[in-house]
Every structure is written in structure tokens, then in C-alpha cells.
Amino acid sequence: MILDREAGTGKNHRSRSRRGAIVTILRVPKSGGIPTTKVRVVRWFKKEGSKVKQGERVVELETEKVNYELDSPAAGILLKIVAAVDAEVPVGDPLGCIGQLGETLPEF
């Protein structure tokens, strides 16, 4: 199952993976009160293949006005980093995937 989660909004979209486990897609959240259409990835606190806990900081993002850290919405392994450091990523687009080793990842 793939859990497509827009961080900070509680909006989830699920679909089945081949193995039946859950993969969470970490997306750029809509910034509350800060009008922005994109963010820049400042740094990743974890590397691909690293364990993450729910609520643990995963990535630092920058808007025109503020930098903020995005926490992991789920526990698991950071399976894939979709947006590299210094990449500009539109709001709602994927940053990475969290799940268990061996899971089938969506194509981006």
C-alpha cells in the first residue's frame, strides 16, 4: 500500500504496493500563512537507507521568507530521496519516500 501524505495537512491517499506494505510519500506542505509556490531543499538530515522515527526531522526546506524542518509523518526507512539538496520543489510535489526495504516505489 502506498500512503501519499501531504505533510502537515493530514491528507492521505492510499494505493496497493506489490508486497502490500505501506510506503509514505513525503511531499512539500502548504505553508500556513506564508504564500509560496515552491521551496528549496537546504539539507537532508537522513540518507537513503536510514531508519526514521515518526516525528523525527528529515529535511530542511527554505521559502523566500523562512527556513523550516519537516518531520517524518511515519516510521520506517528513508527509501528514496526524490528532491536533492538545492532543488526547487513546487508545493505538493514529492520530496522522498518512507517505508520498508524491498517495497515497490511509485515512479516520479
CATH number where 9 lies: 2.40.50.100
Full domain range(s) for residue 33: 2-99
- Taking only the tens of pLDDT, the chain with its 108 residues reads 455 555 544 444 443 454 556 899 999 988 666 678 899 999 999 999 999 999 999 999 999 888 999 999 999 999 999 999 999 999 999 999 999 988 888 887
Assigned domain for 108 exists: no
Assigned domain for 104 exists: no
Pairing of strands 67-71, 38-44: unpaired
Q: How far apart are CA 26 and CA 56, in angstroms?
A: 13
**Could you tell me which of 63, 57, 6, 70 has the C-alpha nearest to residue 39?**
63
Assigned domain for 57 exists: yes
| Neighbour count for residue 94 (Cβ, 10 Å) | 17
Assigned domain for 106 exists: no
Answer yes or no: are the C-beta atoms of 15 and 2 closer than 8 Å: yes
Q: What domain count does the chain have?
A: 1
Say which DSSP state 48 is in. Answer: T
Q: What's residue 16's pLDDT?
A: 46
